[in-house]
Structure 1
Amino acid sequence: MRRFALAATAAAMLAQPAAPAFAQQRGPASVADLAEGLLEAVVNISTSQNRGAGGSDAVPMPRLPEGSPFQDFFEEFFRDRGGNNQPRRVQSLGSGFVIDAEQGIIITNNHVIADADEIEANFSDGSKLKAELVGRDTKTDIAVLKVDPTLKQLKAVQFGDSNAIRIGDWVMAIGNPFGLGGTVTVGIVSARNRDINSGPYDDFIQTDAAINRGNSGGPLFDMDGNVIGINTAIISPSGGSIGIGFSIPSELAVNVITQLREFGETRRGWLGVRIQPVTDDIAESLGMARAEGALVAGVTKGGPVDNGVLEPGDVILRFDGRPVREMRDLPRIVADSPVGKEVDVVIVRRGEEQVVKVTLGRLEDGEEMAEGGAGEGEEGGAVATASVLGMTIGELDDAARAQFGILPEVSGVVISEVTPGSAAADKGIAAGEVITEIAQESVSSPQQVIDRIAALREQGRRNALLMLSSKTGELRFVTLRMD
C-alpha cells in the first residue's frame, strides 16, 4: 500500500507540466499605500485665457429691423452669452506634479498651459496657488511652473530611471481626467521607444494604464513611487482611454527640465547636418555589412561641421560613445549633448570606419540657417546628353538652370527627364534634380555619369548610390539597381 501510494505520487508528479523557468507573478495586490503617499504631490492645473470680442467661435447677434419686438430679447441673450463684443474667458484643465517643494517647482505639459493668461495649481486638499511659467519646450511638450512655497507646505516626488523600466512592468498614473480631480489608474508598460510623429525627439513609453483628457502633464510612476514618465498623449477614436497612452520618459525630460529651470529655455547641441535612413540598398552600396546608423545627406552652410569634418555620404555609427542604431537616434543624442562640447563621432566613409572630432553648436541658434550646398565637380565631358538608368541627363548650363530654376551654387549633372515606370521614377526622382555624386565621387558631366556607372558594373556592383540635389541645394541619397 505504501509502495503504491509512493508510486502513484511519483506518477502524478510526472504527469504535471514542468514549471516555467521564470516565476509567475500576479499584479500588485494593492497600490493603496503607494498612491496615498503620492497624491499630495500631484496637482490639477487650471488655466484661463481672455479672449477678446470677435473670436472665431463667437456667434454674432443677428441684425433686426429697428423697432422689432425681438430686439430687446436678443440684446439681453447675447449680452449674457458674452456676445455683443464682450470679452470672454476660456478655461482648460490638465495635470502636473511637484518636483521641488522648497522652490515650488511643478512640471506639466506645454500644451496644457499654452496661450494661458492665468495658471492655477489645485492641490488634493482643496487649496489653490497661482503659478507662473518658468520655461517651456514645444519640441518635447514640457513646461516648468513655479508657485510660492511660503504659502503652502508642498510635497515633492522624484524622477526615476526610465531606462530601467521593462515591458510588462507595473506602472501607476495619477491625474485629473475630465476635470474630475485626483484619479489613480494602474497598468503595465506596453512598449518603449514609441515614435508617434509628434515631434523630433519622440521616444515615448506606451502604457495601458488609463490616461484620459485632463491627464496630460501628470506623472507615470513605477512601483517604487518614482516618476518614470510624463503622461502626454493617447490614441482614442472616442476621446476616452482605450489602453493606448504615451508618456515622455524621464531620461528625456530631466535634461530639458534642468535647462528650463536654469535658463528659461532649452540649449540643445547642434551638429548641423541633414540625415536620412540607411536602407539595405544604401548599406550594400556603401559596402556595409548591415543597415545601421544615420546617413549624412547634407551639411548646413555655416554650421558646426561646415569645415569638412563631416561630408555628405558619411554614415554616423556612434556619437560621443553612444550607438546610433537608426536615423532617429541621432537627433536625440545630439540634442542631449552640451553646447560647445567636443565629441568623438564614429563614421563610415568610403567603406572605411574612422573617428572624427566635432564641436557642437547650439540648435536654437541654427534652426533658421539654410541647409545644403553640393561640392564642386570637375569641368568637361564628352557628351552633352545621355540616357541612363531610366533618366535623361545633360549638362547643367545656363539654359538648364533657367529652365528648372536651379540656383548658381548647385553643381553636377541635371536630370531633364525621367522614364515613367523606371527604377528612377519608382524612387521618386524628378526632372530638375541634379546628380552631384555617384558612389561618393563627384560628377559634373553626362560622360562622367556613364563612366562611373560602367566602373561600378565592372566591380560587380548591383546598385548605384546617387547623391541628388534639389534646385535649392538640398541633398538626398538614392540607390538605383543597375541590372
Structure 2
Amino acid sequence: MLSRTASAAAVISAVALVLAAISGYFVNLQEKRTEDLNAEVTFLRDSVNQLDSRLQNIEAEIQNLARDTSQLSNQINQLTKLVVLNQSVPAQILIEIISAVNQSLTSKLIALNQSLTTLECNVSQLSKEVAAISRQTPGKVYEKVYKSVVVIRTALGQGSGFIYGENLILTNWHVVEGVDVADVQFYDQTRTTAYVLATDPYSDVAVLKIDRKPSDALPLKLGNSSEVWIGETVVAVGNPLGLTGSLSVGVISQVNRLLDLYPIIVPVLQLDITIAPGSSGGPLLNLDGEVIGITNAGTSVGFSFAIPSNVVKRVASDLVLKGYYQHPYFGFSAITLTPEIIKTYNILDVDPYQNGLMVINVESNTPAEKAGLKAWTRVRTLTGYAYKPGDIILAVDGKRTYTTEDWFAYVSMNVSPNQKVVLTILREGRTLDLEITPTARPPYRG
C-alpha cells in the first residue's frame, strides 16, 4: 500500500515538472509572439491554473491516505499487544476484540484501495490534459488544416474556401456571386474547375462541386459555434491579397453581431483578426482544428466577421440536398428600444427605460399582418411629430429579445418557414402572447 502511494506521489512530481516546463514555455511564447497571441497565452495559463488546483486536491488525497495508513499501523500494533496479552485475557473477549479490529482494518483497506485507484486515474487524466494543452497552438492547427484550404478565382476576383465533404468546397456567396464556374487552386499548386452547386445570399454561403482534389486534402470538421466564448483564441487560414496559405491569429471579440451589409441577415461572429480581400470564404478554426465559422467581411480598423458554423451547417446541408435554403419571413420591421431611441423618436406612453423590439412597420399580406401585429404610428403634437407605440416584442418562444441581434440569433438557428412561433408582446401596457407562422423569405434578386 505504501509503495503504491509513493508511486502516485512520484507521478504527481513528474506532472508538476511538466507544469513548470509549460510555464517556461509561456515566458518564451510572450517574448517571441506578437500581441495577437497574448490572448492564447492567457487561455493556456488559465488552463494550467485549473490543473494546478486539481493537483493540489490530489496531493491532499495523498496526505489523507498517509494519515489513514498511519492509523492502520497503530491498529496493527494494538493487535500485536493483544497477542502478548493472550494468556491474561479471556479467549472469548480476545476473539471479539480481534474481530472488531479486523472489520475496521478491512473496511479501511478497501476504502484506501478505492481512493488510491481514483487517485491514479486523476493523475493519468491530469497528465493527458497537460500534454493536450502543450499541443494546442496555432501552428499545430495550421499544420493540420492548411492542405484543405483552397484559392478560388473567378473573372470578378478571388477568395478562399475549404474542403467540405467528398469533392465539395465551402466558401462565401459573394466570392462566386454572378458566376457558375470558378478556378480552384490547391495547396500543391494543382488546379481544377469548380462548379457552383448552390448559394444562399442571405447567409453568404456557397457550395462548390469539384471533380478531383489531392488525396491528402481532407474535409474539415464543422464545430459547434454555440460553444465559442468571447476571448477564445481562433485561427484563420486564407489567401489575403493573393498571399496563399496565410495564417492569422486572434480572439472572438463578440457574438451575434448584425452586419449592415445587405443581403446578409444572419448573426455573425466578430473577430479581432484582419481579413483582407482574398481571405473571404476561408475557415475560422478553434485550437482543436474545428471550423467554427467562415470568414466573410473585414474592416479598415482591425476587426472582421465570420458566419458561425452552426448557421453554415444548417444552410449547407440544404444547399447540397435541395439546391436552396429557405429563411423564415415574418413581414415586419423593428428597432431596438433604448433611452436614446425613445428620446430621439419622441416615442409616447412608454417607460423611458423600456427595452425590447419596437415594431415600426408591418407589410401588407404577410404573416405579421395576418397575426395582428401592430406597428407604431406617427402623430403630430404641439411640439412637433412623435410616435405612438405599437407592439413591443419582449420574447420569441420564451427567449428574451432585448435587441434585434437577439431576434435574428434565435430565428436563424431555430425557426423554419411554416413553423409556428409565439411572440410575447407589450401592447398598451398589457403583456400578451401572439402566435405567428412565417412563410419563406422571397429569393434574393440582386
Q: Which TM-score bucket, shorter chain as reference?
A: 0.5 to 0.7
Cα offset, 1:97, TM superposition: 0.8
Cα offset, 1:151, TM superposition: 8.2
Q: Residue 343 of structure 1: which of 416, 421, 428 is its match? A: 421
* 2:294 aligned partner, one-letter code: I
Q: Deviations over 1:107-151 (max 9, x none)?
A: 111221123353122111233221111222223322111112588
Higher helix share: 2
Corresponding position of 2:432: 354
Find out whether 1:175 has 2:238 as its counterpart: yes
The alpha-carbon distance between structure 1 residues 271 and 194, as it changes in their structure 2 partners (threshold 3 A), is closer
The alpha-carbon distance between structure 1 residues 361 and 36, as it changes in their structure 2 partners (threshold 3 A), is same
Corresponding position of 1:387: none
Which ranges in structure 1 are unaligned for 5 or more consecutive residues?
1-19, 50-90, 237-241, 369-483
Q: Deviations over 1:344-384 (max 9, x none)?
A: 2211122111112211111117x89xxxxxxxxxxxxxxxx
The alpha-carbon distance between structure 1 residues 275 and 31, as it changes in their structure 2 partners (threshold 3 A), is closer
Between the aligned partners of 1:335 and 1:307, the Cα distance in structure 2 is 22
Q: Residue 324 of structure 1: which of 401, 417, 424 is its match? A: 401
The alpha-carbon distance between structure 1 residues 353 and 175, as it changes in their structure 2 partners (threshold 3 A), is same
Higher strand share: 1
Find out whether 1:127 has 2:190 as its counterpart: yes
Which ranges in structure 2 are unaligned for 5 or more consecutive residues?
1-41, 49-132, 376-389
* 2:204 aligned partner, one-letter code: D
Superposed counterparts of 1:24-423, under 5 Å: 30-47=137-154, 49=155, 92-100=157-165, 102=166, 104-116=167-179, 118-148=181-211, 154-199=217-262, 200-201=264-265, 203-236=267-300, 243-280=302-339, 281=342, 285-287=348-350, 290-312=353-375, 313-336=390-413, 337-364=415-442
Between the aligned partners of 1:254 and 1:274, the Cα distance in structure 2 is 27
Between the aligned partners of 1:205 and 1:298, the Cα distance in structure 2 is 28
SS for the counterpart of 1:35 is helix
The alpha-carbon distance between structure 1 residues 352 and 184, as it changes in their structure 2 partners (threshold 3 A), is same
TM-score (norm 1): 0.55
TM-score (norm 2): 0.60
Between the aligned partners of 2:172 and 2:370, the Cα distance in structure 1 is 39
* 2:314 aligned partner, one-letter code: N
SS for the counterpart of 2:188 is coil
SS for the counterpart of 2:178 is coil
Between the aligned partners of 2:174 and 2:192, the Cα distance in structure 1 is 20
Cα offset, 1:153, TM superposition: 6.2
The alpha-carbon distance between structure 1 residues 175 and 353, as it changes in their structure 2 partners (threshold 3 A), is same
Q: Deviations over 1:45-96 (max 9, x none)?
A: 122x3xxxxxxxxxxxxxxxxxxxxxxxxxxxxxxxxxxxxxxxxx622100
SS for the counterpart of 1:256 is helix
* 1:362 aligned partner, one-letter code: A
Query: Given that residues 121 and 129 in structure 1 are in contact (C-alpha distance below 8 angstroms), is that contact kept between their aligned partners in structure 2?
Result: yes
Query: Given that residues 256 and 405 in structure 2 are in contact (C-alpha distance below 8 angstroms), is that contact kept between their aligned partners in structure 1?
Result: no
Between the aligned partners of 1:339 and 1:196, the Cα distance in structure 2 is 23
SS for the counterpart of 1:193 is strand
Q: How many residues align?
A: 298
Between the aligned partners of 1:249 and 1:291, the Cα distance in structure 2 is 30
The alpha-carbon distance between structure 1 residues 289 and 164, as it changes in their structure 2 partners (threshold 3 A), is farther
Query: Given that residues 320 and 345 in structure 1 are in contact (C-alpha distance below 8 angstroms), is that contact kept between their aligned partners in structure 2?
Result: yes
Cα offset, 1:297, TM superposition: 2.5
